[in-house]
Amino acid sequence: MYPEELRYTETHEWVRVGDNVAVVGLTDHAQSELGDIVYLELPAAGTEVTAGGEFGVVESVKAASDLYAPLSGEVVGVNDAATGDPALVNRDCYGEGWLVKVELKDPSELENLKTAAEYKEFIGA
C-alpha cells in the first residue's frame, strides 16, 4: 500500500508533486502505527516550511507526533476536511486524507526522498 508515484520520508510523510506543488500526507504505515487519529494541527496557508522542519502535529488515541515537511516552500493549501474529521487520514491517507499543499522552493529536494521500494525496505514491509 505504498503507491509507486509517491516519494516518502523517513518520518513517514508522503509527497505527490505536480506543477511545482507538492501534496503532502501521512503514510499508511504512520496512520496504522498511530491508530485512530483524533486531532490534526496544520499550518495556515502562506506559512513557509523548511525540509525536515516541523509543520504540524498529529494526535491519536495512542500518541502525539510532530509532522515534518518533506520539502521547502510555501503552504498554498490546507485540508480543512481532515482537520475537521482527522479520522479521514485513517480512512484514506493517500486520497482525501492529504494534509497540506506546498509550492516548491527547490524541486531538487525531491532527490532526498525515498522511492516506494526504498521506503518499504526502510519500514521492513
What are the pLDDT tens digits along the chain (125 aa)? 899 999 999 999 999 999 999 999 999 999 999 999 999 999 999 999 999 999 999 999 999 999 999 999 999 999 999 999 999 999 999 999 999 999 999 999 999 999 999 999 999 98
Q: Let me know: does 65 contact 58? Beta carbons within 8 Å.
A: yes
Task: Tell me how far apart the alpha carbons of residues 57 and 64 are, in angstroms, rounded to a whole number.
Answer: 7
Indicate yes or no: pTM above 0.75.
yes
How far is Cα 73 from Cα 104, in angstroms, rounded to an integer? 5
The highest-level CATH class for domain 7-104 is mainly beta
